[in-house]
């Protein structure tokens, strides 16, 4: 296999594959995927893609995004996201992708929490991500290398020349442009909804080179997750369920969310997650999602994945109440980029999708804005790549590198997950964050393999960012010392 390319893309989710779709076929491009191509968050996305259905709604989409982001979004980036959404979706449809339509052939828009209009496009009912992933894989015109983990970036004098990978053995790939599209940080937490490949290694590598990560305290916890059962990835119960009438109740059927926010089930995610956490702690009660307002036949067609997955777990929907808990879901923070996906301090390096922090999500992501971000900003990234592609000679790097895994790393990995869930999760306190930081610092001094080190570096960054933000904002909820 050759070792030099025009562009290397790390990741085969929406951000990576849409970057590949938009690059001309004449270029030499290689896509790298840690596992099977579909083992990514994109594949598991249920609800849909947000886009204003009319010109007039664009300003409202901007407003809803800024509101959900709790004053912490970058307004210029939000304008880009919402203004370019219609064009990118039109071109996605023109490329052949089919969103769900009504009998007359009109696109079906649904609503999700904190959206003030129906503006969520979906596909295959609740299988939007699977549909998008399948479509992008079918369109992929470049080689893709599976089971290939990027373990380092090849950086010298602030220029990126490629990546070091592990695929049966260690070797280097060189490229004129390198795009990180490696997703978020889910596996750092004990309970999460993410694909098993999403473990923040690229964030850790960036930290090693002093590349800035932004908003790392801003971690989103999805309020309605079925966390029982042994699977590592927990079953998500899409926001669209609440948008279309599902209720959150306690064991006595009380809709307690209204005690926390007048919008009840349609409050932003952080408010619903924090309310469920608080109410269940204070009242020692199990919390449920009640979907009994749906007709069974409609439910089966509209939410087929949830219907069949829950059936396999012994739940008869829509009749049965589903026990729920919040779980880690999405990272608003990430590798800081500009509006064209560029990582400011390193020449030829880009980040896009959940791995990046463009600032569009602020302190709390508005539902269904992340698939959209993957589409909009990968298109901008491609434009910049094509404008600036030159032939700087490659600097060569040693092919060896640190030991990736050592005995005992798995025990540390599980301890880290528990620390992150308990001390850097939905409700934080300075005391618990300090405890977490001390233990992570201790772990960083141990003789471990490189992969756990990368997880530890990213975790430390999340904890440190959380410690710096003394007052709650959006998804970052910190309680005072007295309340611990």
CB of 48 to ligand FAD, least distance (A): 5
> What percent of the residues of the chain are helix, what percent strand, and what percent coil, each to the nearest 5?
40, 20, 40
SS3 248: strand
User: Going by C-beta distance under 8 Å and a sequence separation of 6 or more, which residues neighbour residue 370?
Assistant: 330, 353, 354, 361
* Beta carbon of residue 283, minimum distance to ligand FAD (angstroms, whole number): 28
Element (H, E) at 10: strand 4-10
Measured torsion, CA atoms of residues 269, 273, 278, 280, in degrees rounded to the nearest 10: 140
Closest separation between CB of residue 178 and ligand FAD, Å? 12
* Region of 54-62, 300-308, 350-358, 427-435 interacting with ligand FAD (CB under 6 A): 350-358
CB of residue 225 to ligand FAD, shortest distance in Å: 9
Residue 129 binds ligand FAD, judged by CB under 6 A: yes
CB of 53 to ligand FAD, least distance (A): 16
Under rule CB under 6 A, residue 194 binds ligand FAD: yes
Residues 424/465, Cβ–Cβ less than 8 Å: no
- Site for ligand FAD contains 162 (CB under 6 A): no
Tell me which of 111, 269, 417, 455 is the catalytic residue: 269
DSSP 427-475: SEEHHHHHHHHHHHHHHHTS---HHHHHHHHHHHHHHHHHHH--S-BTT
330 binds ligand FAD (CB under 6 A): yes
Q: What single string gives the DSSP state of each residue in 138-194?
A: HH--S-EESS-EEEEEEEETTEEEEEEEEESEEEEEEEEEEEE-----GGGSSSB-S
Site string (172-191) toward ligand FAD, x via CB under 6 A: ---------xxx--------
Cα separations in angstroms, 3 against 140, 176, 294: 20, 12, 54
Stretch that binds ligand FAD, among 11-19, 259-267, 403-411, 426-434 (CB under 6 A): 11-19
DSSP string, 54-73: SHHHHHHHHHHHHHHTTT-S
**What are the backbone angles phi and psi of residue 252, rounded to the nearest 5°?**
-95, 5
Selected from 30, 202, 324, 420, the binder of ligand FAD by CB under 6 A is: 202
What values do phi and psi take at 63, rounded to 5? -60, -45
Q: Which is nearer to ligand FAD, 274 or 370 (CB)?
A: 370
Q: Which is nearer to ligand FAD, 130 or 176 (CB)?
A: 130
Is the Cβ of residue 375 or residue 478 nearer to ligand FAD in the bound state? 375
The residues, ordered by sequence, that sit 6+ positions from 61 with a Cβ below 8 Å of its Cβ are: 50, 51, 52, 82, 85, 115, 119
Nearest residue to 239 (alpha-carbon basis) of 426, 110, 109: 110
The rounded distance, in Å, linking the Cα atoms of 202 and 57 is 36
Q: Please give the sequence-ordered ranges of beta strands (E in DSSP) within 340-391, or none if there are none.
A: 349-351, 356-357
When asked if residue 326 is in the footprint of ligand FAD (CB under 6 A), the reply is: no
Q: Report, in Å, the least distance between residue 129 CB and ligand FAD.
A: 6
| Closer residue to ligand FAD, CB minimum distance, 60 or 137 | 137
Is residue 303 involved in binding ligand FAD (CB under 6 A)? no
Would residue 269 show up in a list of annotated catalytic residues for this protein? yes
Q: Which stretch binds ligand FAD (CB under 6 A): 69-77, 246-254, 303-311, 348-356?
A: 348-356
Nearer to ligand FAD, 130 or 476 (CB): 130
Q: Does position 201 bind ligand FAD by CB under 6 A?
A: yes
Contacting ligand FAD within 442-461 (CB under 6 A) = none
Which 99-128 positions form the footprint of ligand FAD (CB under 6 A)? 128
Taking CB under 6 A as the binding criterion, the range among 9-17, 52-60, 90-98, 386-394 that sits at the site for ligand FAD is 9-17
Q: Does 402 bind ligand FAD (CB under 6 A)?
A: no
Instruction: Quote the DSSP letter at residue 279.
Output: H
Q: Which stretch binds ligand FAD (CB under 6 A): 7-15, 71-79, 262-270, 303-311?
A: 7-15
Q: Are 75 and 359 in contact (CB under 8 A)?
A: no
| Phi-psi domain of 368 (left: phi exceeds 0; alpha: psi -120 through 50; beta: other) | left
With CB under 6 A, what is the number of residues at the site for ligand FAD?
Answer: 45
Q: Which residues are catalytic?
A: 269
Binding site for ligand FAD (CB under 6 A): 10-16, 32-35, 39-42, 44-49, 128-129, 149-150, 181-183, 193-195, 197-198, 201-202, 236, 330, 353-355, 368-371, 374
């Amino acid at each position: 296999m050759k070792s030099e390319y025009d562009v290397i893309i790390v990741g085969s989710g929406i951000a990576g594959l849409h970057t590949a779709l938009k690059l001309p076929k004449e270029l030499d491009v290689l896509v790298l995927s840690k596992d099977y191509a579909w083992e990514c968050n994109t594949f598991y996305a249920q609800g849909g893609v947000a886009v204003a259905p009319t010109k007039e709604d664009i300003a409202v989409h901007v407003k809803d995004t800024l509101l959900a982001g709790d004053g912490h979004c970058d307004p210029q980036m939000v304008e880009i996201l919402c203004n370019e959404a219609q064009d990118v979706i039109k071109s996605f449809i023109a490329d052949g992708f089919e969103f769900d339509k009504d009998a007359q052939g009109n696109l079906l828009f649904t609503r999700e929490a904190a959206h003030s209009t129906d503006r969520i496009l979906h596909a295959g009912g609740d299988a939007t991500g699977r549909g998008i992933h399948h479509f992008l894989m079918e369109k992929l015109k470049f080689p893709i290398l599976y089971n290939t983990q990027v373990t380092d970036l090849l950086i010298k004098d602030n220029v990126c020349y490629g990546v070091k990978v592990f695929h049966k053995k260690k070797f280097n790939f060189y490229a004129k442009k390198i795009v990180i599209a490696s997703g978020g940080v889910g596996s750092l937490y004990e309970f999460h909804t993410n694909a098993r490949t999403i473990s923040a290694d690229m964030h850790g590598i960036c930290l090693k080179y002093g590349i800035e990560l932004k908003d790392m305290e801003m971690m989103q916890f999805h309020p309605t997750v079925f966390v029982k059962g042994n699977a590592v990835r927990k079953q998500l119960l899409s926001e669209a369920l609440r948008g279309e009438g599902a209720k959150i109740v306690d064991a006595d059927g009380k809709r307690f969310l209204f005690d926390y926010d007048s919008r009840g089930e349609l409050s932003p995610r952080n408010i619903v997650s924090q309310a469920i956490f608080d109410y269940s702690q204070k009242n020692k009660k199990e919390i449920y999602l009640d979907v009994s307002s749906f007709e069974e036949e409609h439910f089966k067609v509209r939410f087929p994945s949830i219907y069949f997955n829950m059936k396999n777990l012994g739940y008869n929907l829509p009749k049965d109440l589903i026990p729920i808990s919040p779980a880690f879901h999405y990272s608003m923070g990430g590798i800081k980029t500009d509006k064209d996906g560029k990582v400011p301090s390193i020449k030829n390096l880009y980040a896009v999708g959940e791995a990046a922090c463009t600032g569009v999500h602020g302190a709390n992501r508005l539902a269904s804005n992340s698939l959209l971000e993957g589409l909009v900003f990968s298109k901008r990234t491609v434009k910049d790549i094509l404008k600036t592609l030159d032939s700087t000679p490659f600097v060569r790097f040693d092919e060896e590198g640190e030991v990736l895994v050592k005995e005992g790393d798995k025990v540390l990995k599980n301890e880290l997950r528990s620390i992150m869930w308990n001390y850097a999760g939905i409700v934080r306190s300075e005391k618990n964050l300090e405890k977490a930081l001390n233990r992570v610092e201790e772990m960083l001094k141990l003789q471990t393999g490189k992969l756990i080190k990368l997880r530890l570096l990213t975790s430390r960054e999340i904890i440190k960012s959380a410690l710096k933000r003394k007052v709650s904002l959006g998804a970052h909820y910190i309680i005072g010392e007295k309340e611990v």
